Structure 1
């Protein structure tokens, strides 16, 4: 075999080897997300809500045609959690109603405007007090330890009523930006806004309001 043939063979082997090795190299360097739905990652302690990455979405029906959505942001609060006794967890969350936002500038302003001629506002008014949820009981699902029913008291528009959330653990790990242990949860419930004195537009805008919560808690 002459040198030219030997050189071609060597080149082919080198290229083949590089192609074979490339996936291994990429697999080894592939980035990994810091959080995972793994309860063993959770450690006991007091956690505080990360307001930049926590929000509450709300949904109402408009005129019987379709559903409309809005968001409360800047959620604050604490979670006291012990993975060895999750049923003893305590949640205390505050929602600044004044931070409400929608896809319509006019509607957002309507939610927060003062009542006409000194009357009561249609919805929350220009300086609404924050809403607050304080848990009274946590019941972990007997078949799925990542799910729980959280019962507590919701104070909204100056009225306090019992509310039950269906909650789910969504992830835990270390936040690579601030190096804090972080746990995430999502929860949902349905309330009647008339129970809290927010009656404007019923039934054209539904009394029933669906709430979807997504909160990241950072260990303190």
Structure 2
């Protein structure tokens, strides 16, 4: 699918609007319910070339910013038993080849966590482009969803999947600000 006029972005490095973006996750607990949360600290890189292709798409998530709204649980998840944020500080995602932006598209890249890299494909839904009255700049938005398996990254290796599900669903709601002229 090729870039259309509705999805064409200005060339350059688009900046993260962190106030209007989020990185969320869902994990199964005891196989009977889902725990939802977010990472409060993350960075993105998003560069568009002159042809309108996204030539750089990457995100770094700071694991110690893990937040489910329950401080006792969050402290346990940050511990060596699960995320081990004292030794694993970030999860990094980077796209491996240029991407045509469209209404819906897939982004394939590599997730690196604790020295382990695995391919991951995210489904992306384009939100569009609008001028934000607060700064009078073009803002572009999208939602990317996918999942990783904690077992592939040696996360919480001692916990059975009946206690903590292996599949961790991820949803990124990202808003970017146009490059400065």
TM-score (norm 2): 0.84
Per the alignment, residue 165 of structure 2 pairs with 206
Per the alignment, residue 74 of structure 2 pairs with 108
RMSD: 2.2
TM-score (norm 1): 0.70
Per the alignment, residue 27 of structure 2 pairs with 60
Alignment deviations for residues 64-116 of structure 1 (CA, whole Å, 9 cap, x no partner): 21111111123212111258443x53202111111110032111011123xxx
Per the alignment, residue 192 of structure 1 pairs with 149
- What SS does structure 2 have at the residue aligned with 1:154? strand
| Partners of 1:94 and 1:126 in 2: CA distance | 14
2:14 touches 2:47 (CA, 8 Å); kept in 1?
yes
Query: Structure 1 residues 83, 215: closer, same or farther in 2, change over 3 A?
Result: farther
Query: Structure 1 residues 103, 200: closer, same or farther in 2, change over 3 A?
Result: farther
- What SS does structure 1 have at the residue aligned with 2:35? strand
- Alignment pair present for 1:96 and 2:62: yes
Gapped regions of structure 1 (runs ≥ 5): 1-37, 114-120
- Alignment pair present for 1:179 and 2:136: yes
Gapped regions of structure 2 (runs ≥ 5): none
2:107 touches 2:121 (CA, 8 Å); kept in 1?
yes
Per the alignment, residue 176 of structure 2 pairs with 217
- Alignment pair present for 1:45 and 2:3: no
From 109, 127, 135, the counterpart of 2:95? 135
2:11 touches 2:52 (CA, 8 Å); kept in 1?
no
Displacement of 1:176: 1.7
1:51 touches 1:73 (CA, 8 Å); kept in 2?
no
- What SS does structure 2 have at the residue aligned with 1:206? strand
Equivalent residues in 2 for 1:128-167, closer than 5 Å: 128-137=88-97, 140=100, 145-167=102-124
Segments of 4+ moved more than 6 angstroms? none
| Partners of 1:161 and 1:77 in 2: CA distance | 19
| Larger deviation, residues 158-167 vs 175-184 | 175-184
Alignment deviations for residues 34-93 of structure 1 (CA, whole Å, 9 cap, x no partner): xxxx8267323210222222221111111121111111123212111258443x532021
From 110, 116, 125, the counterpart of 2:84? 125
1:75 touches 1:95 (CA, 8 Å); kept in 2?
yes
| Larger deviation, residues 176-185 vs 163-172 | 176-185
| Partners of 2:55 and 2:106 in 1: CA distance | 11
